[in-house]
Structure 1
């Protein structure tokens, strides 16, 4: 039986960074339009030909979302998530 307390939440790409301590690791951060919750996705690239699509938004399990504690970061995530939402369809490749 599925856990009924879990639901899918659409989150929008707000940040793409490359890990300083791990080579070939891309960290994708998605956030809710209010900037209060985030979802982090790490992707290891095994070669230059290892192409994986990054979409403007993903559906994340609500239990996998973290809370953005810092007010400045929350504002930054909210602004970027709203911009992505206004300019892109969820499945647009970024």
Structure 2
């Protein structure tokens, strides 16, 4: 992490309803206030890309978490931070 980035932790992994083979990874700050969303398209069964416990995101790419999700995101981000190193493959 640098002074120009914010560490966010994996809090949710879902599959897109709209398109096939899209995985949506949601990372959040440990206070649950902000989130970072990453979409991945899987092009084949052999397309393997690791998902890490945390990523360092540009603050401009963070969104404000919906109030109803904040507590759950904070709880999960704090759990991930306590149990994993940022580069652990999840």
Number of aligned residue pairs: 88
Q: How does 1:1-94 map to 2 (within 5 A)?
A: 7-70=4-67, 72-94=68-90
Write the distance in 2 (CA, Å) between the matches of 1:36 and 1:62.
Answer: 12
Aligned-CA RMSD value: 1.0
Mapped partners of 2:7, 2:79: distance in 1: 14
SS of structure 2 residue aligned to 1:35:
coil
Q: Distance in 1 between matches of 2:53 and 2:62?
A: 17
| 2:18 alignment partner, SS class | coil
Counterpart-to-counterpart distance in 2, 1:56 and 1:69:
22
* Distance in structure 2 (CA, Å) of the matches to 1:7 and 1:79: 25
TM-score, normalised to structure 2, is 0.95
- Bigger radius of gyration among the two: 1
The unaligned stretches of length 5 or more in structure 2 are none
TM-score (norm 1): 0.91
Corresponding residue for 1:3?
A: none
Unaligned stretches of 5+ residues in structure 1: 1-5
How far the C-alpha of 1:69 sits from its partner, in A, is 2.6
